[in-house]
Amino acid sequence: MKSIQLQPDTAFINNLEATIENDGPFSAWELFRMTYQVELTTMSPSFNGLRSLEHLPHITFLDHQVKCAELVVETMNGRAILADEVGLGKTIEAGLVLKEYMIRGMVKKALLLVPASLVNQWVTELNEKFYIPAVAHRKNYSWEQCDIIVSSIDTAKRSPHREAILDIDYDFLLIDEAHKLKNHKTKNYAFVRSLNKKYCLLLTATPVQNKLIEIFNLVSILKPGHLGNYESFLEQYGKDRTQVKRDVYLKQLIQKVMIRNTRESTSLNNTSRKIETVWIDFTPEEMAVYDQISESVASFSTFSKITFLRELCSSREACYLSLKKTATEAEQATAIEDVLTEIEQLPHHVKAQKAVELIKNIGDEKVIIFTEYRASQHYLQWYLQQHGITSVPFRGGFKRGKKDWMRQLFKDRAQVLIATEAGGEGINLQFCNHLINYDLPWNPMRIEQRIGRIHRYGQNKDVHIYNFAIRQTIEEHIMNLLYEKINLFEQVIGQLDDILTDLNINDMESEIQGIYAESTSVGEAKIKLNNLSEMIKQTQGVSRSVE
């Protein structure tokens, strides 16, 4: 075939002649033969299949990860959006793809652009799990010299790095958290578009279906024109995301460049979630204070009243601190002073006592406690210590190094990790399988993020989730009317994200706050909450039946 480009070897024979001229050095037969053997053993005799699996016998891959890598290499020709749900191992899939291309000699130069806080984690994973000699970009390294570089996009797009990078033809480009590129008008987007690349993976955990135009923008990095051009696309689909579900053709097109595994569809289902609601009763003293705040209609805005109530359900300290803060600003200082005095009298919080009881029942195993409030976190740490339970704190705001350190302490030294923020993308705590939701966030997505820290790839035990809720309080409403009704803990929230977008609800938290603020009585708020969850349930039913 004329259209095939041939590249013969021109160097060998000259070098052999020169070696003979110099009378050596020559290889002994045994070593010469072994080199041939090595070549026979390490070459790839077939176009298909993953050679990388033979090279990584120390990792147990899950079926969906292997299938994903195969699909990317064999069918998608090395350009794809990997959009698995959180915790299914997108990094593993990407590592497999990169490894495969390297083994087959198809990738030499690779650039991986990941969030700054994840650079080191990527480098470690690639080196330790995949034996891929990746390095983090450092000031003195040149982009030219290192073959596999991990960097943040913010570093990469700045001069002089930008110019150096644009000069290089990359065989492989990876963007982690690619949903941040969804807007085509940003500098980051333009920068990524301008990179010279052969194979390309975009990783994202958030379902990008939210807005069609965002999908369009991501696909245009991989395969411009695959979804048409900007104008024709807008004309045909507008900005209505529900089109994806209605338009089978569009869905197929998207599936050609995007892989999305869900927990439901993968073997991760093997470890299940045991969910338990732990009902707690306030002591009469605590209930009295709760009612006092609840009934002091005049004193505060509805918004802050709800906050105080939620805080009191978490700890005296949380509520005390924010009341105190309000007292210095507000006019009704005396009313607040009264409540403060009452709080000071309160015994230890019923929830804290329950937590200790539960942890002692769990025995030696590790436990994570999530709370919404810093004050509760401090209090709990102290209170657990009083009962001989070791714990370490964890906050989203910790620097990367401190996060790693706390994780290590938790793994090796402490029984309990008390965290205020699930956020901290990428912290993996699979060695733990008990989680206490000490208080419930009003944003259901945060629940999934919390659970995702432990119920993820690598977890081989069933995961126990304990949800604390205090009877006859605002927590009971949220628990009964919202969480339990729509089965939030059991099913994966990926769907919920879609549903909320369908319903035009951007922020669940403010939605619920709105309900309370605009209701004149507890009864009214309950009815409205109920309506909200009914609506969500209905939409759930609809989208299920469409898929």
Partner 1 sequence: MMEIANLSDFLEGYFSSHHCELLANHDGVMTVQLTEQMDRDLMNRPFYWHYVKSTGNSGQPMKLTLITNPNRRDEQGEWIHFGSPRLQQIINHLKQNEKYTKLFQRVHTNTNTPLYPWLVCNIKISYQGKQKKDELISIGLHLVNGTMHTDMMQRLQEIGLHMTISDYCYPISPMIKLKSGYLRIESVINNYIEHQSHEWAEASLETLEEEIKTLQYFYTADNNPEQMEKELNEIRQRYNPKITSEVMNGGIFYLTEGFI
Between 12 and 249, whose beta carbon lies closer to partner 1?
12
C-alpha span between 312 and 69 (Å, rounded) = 49
Q: Measured from the CB of residue 367, what is the shortest distance to partner 1 in angstroms? A: 29
C-alpha span between 316 and 28 (Å, rounded) = 81
What is the footprint of partner 1 within residues 432-451 (CB under 8 A)? none
x-marked contacts with partner 1 along 197-216 as a string, rule CB under 8 A: xxx-----------------
What is the footprint of partner 1 within residues 397-426 (CB under 8 A)? none
Give pairs for 536-545: CB < 8 Å, separation 24+. 536/486, 536/496, 536/499, 536/500, 536/503, 537/485, 537/486, 539/499, 539/502, 539/503, 540/486, 540/495, 540/496, 540/499, 543/245, 543/495, 543/498, 543/499, 543/502
- If one asks whether residue 116 binds partner 1 (CB under 8 A), the answer comes out as no
Q: Measured from the CB of residue 30, what is the shortest distance to partner 1 in angstroms? A: 5
- If one asks whether residue 196 binds partner 1 (CB under 8 A), the answer comes out as yes
Please list, residue by residue across 526-545, b when 16 or more beta carbons sit within 10 angstroms of its beta carbon and e when fewer do: bebbeebbeebeebbeeeee
Residue for token pair 């990941």:
114
- If one asks whether residue 30 binds partner 1 (CB under 8 A), the answer comes out as yes
Between 230 and 398, whose beta carbon lies closer to partner 1?
230
Bridge partners (DSSP) listed for residue 273: 463
C-alpha span between 368 and 450 (Å, rounded) = 10
Answer for which of 45, 160, 388, 523 binds partner 1 (CB under 8 A) is 45
Between 104 and 374, whose beta carbon lies closer to partner 1?
104
Instruction: Provide the token pair at 106.
Output: 């198809």
User: What is the sign of the dihedral through the CA atoms of 69, 74, 79 and 82?
Assistant: negative
Q: Measured from the CB of residue 239, what is the shortest distance to partner 1 in angstroms? A: 18
Region for 243 from its dihedrals, namely left if φ exceeds 0, alpha if ψ lies in -120 to 50, beta otherwise: alpha
What is the footprint of partner 1 within residues 127-146 (CB under 8 A)? 131
- What DSSP character marks residue 272? P
Per-residue three-class SS string for 330-392: CCCHHHHHHHHHHHHHCCCCHHHHHHHHHHHHHCCCCEEEECCCHHHHHHHHHHHHHCCCCEE
Answer for which of 108, 116, 163, 193 binds partner 1 (CB under 8 A) is 193
- If one asks whether residue 29 binds partner 1 (CB under 8 A), the answer comes out as yes
Bridge partners (DSSP) listed for residue 368: 417, 435
- If one asks whether residue 55 binds partner 1 (CB under 8 A), the answer comes out as yes
- If one asks whether residue 225 binds partner 1 (CB under 8 A), the answer comes out as yes
Q: Measured from the CB of residue 54, what is the shortest distance to partner 1 in angstroms? A: 6
Answer for which of 68, 73, 416, 445 binds partner 1 (CB under 8 A) is 73
Answer for which of 74, 247, 425, 511 binds partner 1 (CB under 8 A) is 74
C-alpha span between 29 and 27 (Å, rounded) = 6
Q: Which stretch binds partner 1 (CB under 8 A): 49-57, 302-310, 348-356, 396-404?
A: 49-57
Answer for which of 32, 141, 279, 405 binds partner 1 (CB under 8 A) is 32
- If one asks whether residue 515 binds partner 1 (CB under 8 A), the answer comes out as no
- If one asks whether residue 60 binds partner 1 (CB under 8 A), the answer comes out as no
Radius of gyration in angstroms for the set of CA atoms belonging to the chain, rounded to a whole number: 28
Residues with Cβ within 8 Å of residue 355, at least 6 apart in sequence: 369, 380, 384, 436, 438, 468
- If one asks whether residue 223 binds partner 1 (CB under 8 A), the answer comes out as yes
What is the footprint of partner 1 within residues 7-26 (CB under 8 A)? 7-9, 12-13, 15-17, 19-20, 24-26
The total number of residues shown for the chain amounts to: 547
Between 231 and 331, whose beta carbon lies closer to partner 1?
231
- State whether residue 67 is helix, strand or coil: helix
Answer for which of 36, 279, 303, 405 binds partner 1 (CB under 8 A) is 36
x-marked contacts with partner 1 along 373-402 as a string, rule CB under 8 A: ------------------------------
The number of angstroms, rounded, from the C-alpha of 28 to the middle of its chain's C-alpha atoms is 55
C-alpha span between 539 and 503 (Å, rounded) = 8
Region for 377 from its dihedrals, namely left if φ exceeds 0, alpha if ψ lies in -120 to 50, beta otherwise: alpha
Q: Which stretch binds partner 1 (CB under 8 A): 29-37, 274-282, 348-356, 529-537?
A: 29-37
| Residues binding partner 1: number (CB under 8 A) | 71
- If one asks whether residue 545 binds partner 1 (CB under 8 A), the answer comes out as no
Q: Which stretch binds partner 1 (CB under 8 A): 6-14, 400-408, 482-490, 510-518?
A: 6-14
Residues with Cβ within 8 Å of residue 76, at least 6 apart in sequence: 256, 257
Q: Measured from the CB of residue 105, what is the shortest distance to partner 1 in angstroms? A: 7
Q: Which stretch binds partner 1 (CB under 8 A): 72-80, 411-419, 441-449, 519-527?
A: 72-80
Instruction: Provide the token pair at 237.
Output: 């689909």
Q: Measured from the CB of residue 140, what is the shortest distance to partner 1 in angstroms? A: 20
Answer for which of 57, 284, 363, 523 binds partner 1 (CB under 8 A) is 57
Between 173 and 525, whose beta carbon lies closer to partner 1?
173
The number of angstroms, rounded, from the C-alpha of 512 to the middle of its chain's C-alpha atoms is 24
Q: Measured from the CB of residue 226, what is the shortest distance to partner 1 in angstroms? A: 6
C-alpha span between 202 and 192 (Å, rounded) = 11
x-marked contacts with partner 1 along 231-250 as a string, rule CB under 8 A: xx------------------
